[in-house]
Structure 1
Amino acid sequence: AAAAPMAQTRRLPEPAIDDGEDAETRGAPGYDEPVDLSPPARVGTTGALPSPARAPASVAATGSGDATSDYEAAVGHIREKRYEQAEMAFRQFIQSHPRDGHVPAATYWLGESYLQRNRNREAAEQFLKVSTDYARSPQAPEAMLKLGVSLNALGAREQACATLAELDRKFPAAGSNVRQSVAREQKRARCTA
């Protein structure tokens, strides 16, 4: 008789907080240039970001069909720092498994895949989605932190500072690592106390 396969429990990577270079030294294009964050005329949601300059490409169906396997495969791309492949895998996962419990984390990691490639507007959109649509998810506080990082990299310092200041009120139970990162990012963005 064949034994039933044992379920494996893997610890997923914690969202990486970039303790390295800031956007000025990371080569973020247009860091010192002002950014127009005014919403397009037909935005129905307050606080929505403008549409990205390029429309996302269609995601080809390449997943296994099993949500957990697809999610783990996408996380593997993040672990290996293959951010373009991670983007495609997480987009495919979200499209194929829109009601799966991993969607908030997948959305966070999709944002991270953009942030690591200096695609700050797309990153901000994903982090905003996690911190608002999935505000009760474990990823929400860090997503709001990364939203502030993304906005600062876009040159939207005031919005970045407001976002970082709001994090403590919106997520009072955020961990000490997130709070320390908020303080560091507020300093980096030159937010006034």
Structure 2
Amino acid sequence: MPAPTPPFHVLSLPGWGGSGPAHWQSRWEALHSDQRIEQADWHQPLRGDWMMRLEESLLALPPGGPPVLLVAHSLGCHLVSAWAGHSRHSARVAGAFLVAPPDLDRDPLPPQLHSWRPVQRLRLPFPSLLVASSDDHVYCALPQAQALAADWGAELLEAGALGHINADSGLGDWPQGRAWLDAWAARLLAGA
């Protein structure tokens, strides 16, 4: 049985298209009881709709429960940033673990993603750790991931050559990623 993440309520935020059963997010949800934020439409993602769903899900959590960690992949990372820039409830989030955010400033951008421009680049109001691959050439080259981390005030963890850090990367349960999350969460608890 995997070691539990320190006492946090983990909200899982998949990206465009959702995370299928072979994706590490889906596997973490099964292994660790992370709670997925379901979106009404995974294939036509409207930024405002996704932000509203995150807000509703966060506010539905019982008050006085464990602190909340957002675990986002791909477009889910931009959801965290966009939501945090508008919500009056960002103080309910203890931190965000952001994995493989795509470069939404690239052209041509798929038409389904145009509602996500302009990219929200304000510093996040809670601690964050951005995990980036060195060879995510299709979605986000490392220099763009580094720039997003700097804009969002996120600590950057370069994960090596893992592609888009998704099911196609063949990570299975991605134990290394969960170990990074657990160590970072423990630092948050310790106030580091």
Query: TM-score normalised to the size of structure 2?
Result: 0.30
Query: TM-score normalised to the size of structure 1?
Result: 0.30
Work out which structure has the larger RCO, using CA pairs closer than 8 Å and 6 or more positions apart in sequence: 2
The structure number with the bigger radius of gyration is 1
